[in-house]
Amino acid sequence: MGTSSDGDLLAAVAAGDEAALRELYDRHAPWLLARLGSRCADPDVVDQAVQDTFLAVWRRPDAWRGEGAVAAWLWGIAIRRLLDQFGRTRRVPWGRVDVEPSAEEGVLSRIEHGDLGTVLDRLSPELQAVVRATVLDGLTAREAGRLLGLPLGTVKTRQMRAMRQMREALT
């Protein structure tokens, strides 16, 4: 089992193989926990999101259409399960912040592929949070707002500010 690809494991899960799910879990739960943990300070909420993620995989293994990395697909499920938790138990991981227009994601991703690291470090924490949510986590502005506990307008404002500062830093 240790040498099966993630895709093979998903096929086995689809056939009702719980051991295959366990193998997937062993491979992916740890990094999902770690990565979600940097987005939410409450470990209980993170644990629940990871648990929900693998239950969702069990119930809908066929939702992965064989395109792209299974890891990225799992992240997409996990981060939204985390958001799902916020919907019911409101926990604000980073305190309150401000916003972004979706078409500007292009600008951000360009910057990302440049010299994201050093530029990101110069942003204030609340701006970093918005950039991580929208660029790295692949969330829409609205979802980012849920993650950060911010109104949509605030997310957009912060995204604008982040873009401006990143541009300045790059020039």
Partner 1 sequence: MTWHLDPTLVGPYVRGELTGQAAASVDAHLPTCADCRAAVAAATGPDRLAAIWSGVAAGIRAGEAVPSAAARATSPFAPLRRFELGVATLAVAMLVGSVARVATGPSATTPVVAAPASEEPTATPEPVATEPEDPTPTATEPEPTATPTGDAVVAPTPTEPPTPAGTVVAASTVIEAFDGCTSLESHLRTSALDRVTAWGLPGGSGGPAVAADPASDGSDAPAAGPPAPTAPDSAPDASDTNVQEAGVDEPDIVETDGTHAFVVAGSTLRVLAVADGAPRSVGELELGQWDSSLLLVDDRLLVLSPSWGDEPAPDQTAPAADGDGDVAASSPSPSGQPATVLRLVDVSDPTRPTVVDRADVDGWLVSARSVDGIARIVVRAVPSRLPFVYPDGQRTEDEALAHNREVVAASTIEQWVPLVRRGSQDTAPAATCEQTVTPSAFAGFGSLSVLTVDVRADLADLRATTVLTEGETVYASRSTLYVATSRWWDEVGEPVEDFHTDLHAFDIAAPGAARYLASGSVPGHLLNQFSMSEHAGHLRVATTEGAPWADGTISGVHVLARQGDVLATVGSVGGLGQDERIFAVRFLGDVGYVVTFRQVDPLYTLDLRDPTAPRVVGELKIPGYSAYLHPAGPGALLGLGQDATEDGQVTGTQMSLFDVTDLAAPRQQSKVTFPDASSEAEWDHHAFLYWQPAGLVLVPLTTWSDQHWTGVVAVAMSDGQLREAGRIAHPEDPGSDWQPPIRRSFVVGEAVFTVSDLGVQANDLRTLESRGYVPFAG
* Residues of this chain, 91-130, that bind partner 1 according to CB under 8 A: 96, 99, 101, 103-104, 106-107, 112, 116-118, 120-121, 123, 125, 128
Which of 7, 62, 95, 114 binds partner 1 (CB under 8 A)? It is: 62
∠ Cα 94 96 100 (to 5°) = 100
Residue type, 57: V
HEC string for 120-141: HHCCCHHHHHHHHHHHHCCCCH
**Contact positions with partner 1 (CB under 8 A) in 134-163:** 136-138, 140, 142, 145-146, 149-153, 156-157, 160-161, 163
Q: How far is the CB of 1 from partner 1 (least distance, A)?
A: 15
56 binds partner 1 (CB under 8 A): yes
- Taking the complex as a whole, the smallest distance from the CB of residue 8 to partner 1 amounts, in Å, to 14
Shortest Cβ 73–partner 1 spacing (Å): 9
Contact 129, 94 (CB under 8 A): yes
Structure tokens at 1: 């089992």
Helix (H, G, I), strand (E, B) or coil at 97: coil
Binding residue for partner 1, selected from 1, 44, 95, 170, defined by CB under 8 A? 44
2 is a contact residue toward partner 1 (CB under 8 A): no
State how far the alpha carbon of 20 is from the alpha carbons of 51, 103, 117, 119, 120, in Å.
Answer: 16, 40, 37, 41, 39
Q: Which tokens hold the place of 18?
A: 């719980």
- Would you say 8 or 16 has its CB closer to partner 1? 16
Among 8, 31, 66, 95, binds partner 1 (CB under 8 A): 31
Q: Which of 28, 36, 123 is nearest to 84 (CA)?
A: 36
CA distance 47 to 62: 24
Cβ closest to partner 1, residue 1 vs residue 153: 153
Binding residues with partner 1: total (CB under 8 A): 89
Q: Pick from 1, 8, 89, 170: which binds partner 1 (CB under 8 A)? A: 89
Distance CA(20)–CA(106), nearest Å, equals 38
